[in-house]
Amino acid sequence: MSQGTERESWGPYPLILAGAAVGMLAIFVVHPRWGGFAMGAVVMIAAALRFAGYAGQLAVRSRTTDVITLAGFGFVMVLTSLLLYNNELKALILSLLAR
């Protein structure tokens, strides 16, 4: 396997893995809210890269399934991190869901 093919096969996976590691470090060092936000953002970046065709090791299923799953999971992680320790935002979202 040549160097170009090997690099292409990994794709953006090292970038996503490094972002997840930074997010975990932020959870323990800075604040769980910011670490969760960073990890959710990294997962949404993975969805965007998968949508753009830079798959590499991220390509497990079909492109549509991967993009929907990664984007949904990333959105839920970002939303959860924003709701952490924010009672006003929690009340607003619960009132919207109660309708």
**Per-residue pLDDT of the chain in tens (99 residues, 90 and over written 9):** 445 555 456 767 788 889 899 999 998 999 888 999 999 999 999 889 888 887 766 666 788 888 898 899 999 999 888 888 888 888 888 898 887
pLDDT at res. 78: 92
pLDDT at res. 1: 45
Q: Do residues 11 and 58 make contact, with C-beta atoms less than 8 angstroms apart?
A: yes
Number of domains in the chain: 1
d(CA 98, CA 92): 10
Q: What is the pTM of this model?
A: 0.75
Q: Do residues 11 and 52 make contact, with C-beta atoms less than 8 angstroms apart?
A: no
Q: Do residues 6 and 54 make contact, with C-beta atoms less than 8 angstroms apart?
A: no
d(CA 92, CA 65): 31
pLDDT at res. 98: 86
d(CA 82, CA 37): 7
Segments forming the whole domain that contains residue 54: 3-98
**Phi-psi bin for 71: left (phi > 0), alpha (psi -120 to 50), beta?**
alpha
pLDDT at res. 9: 66
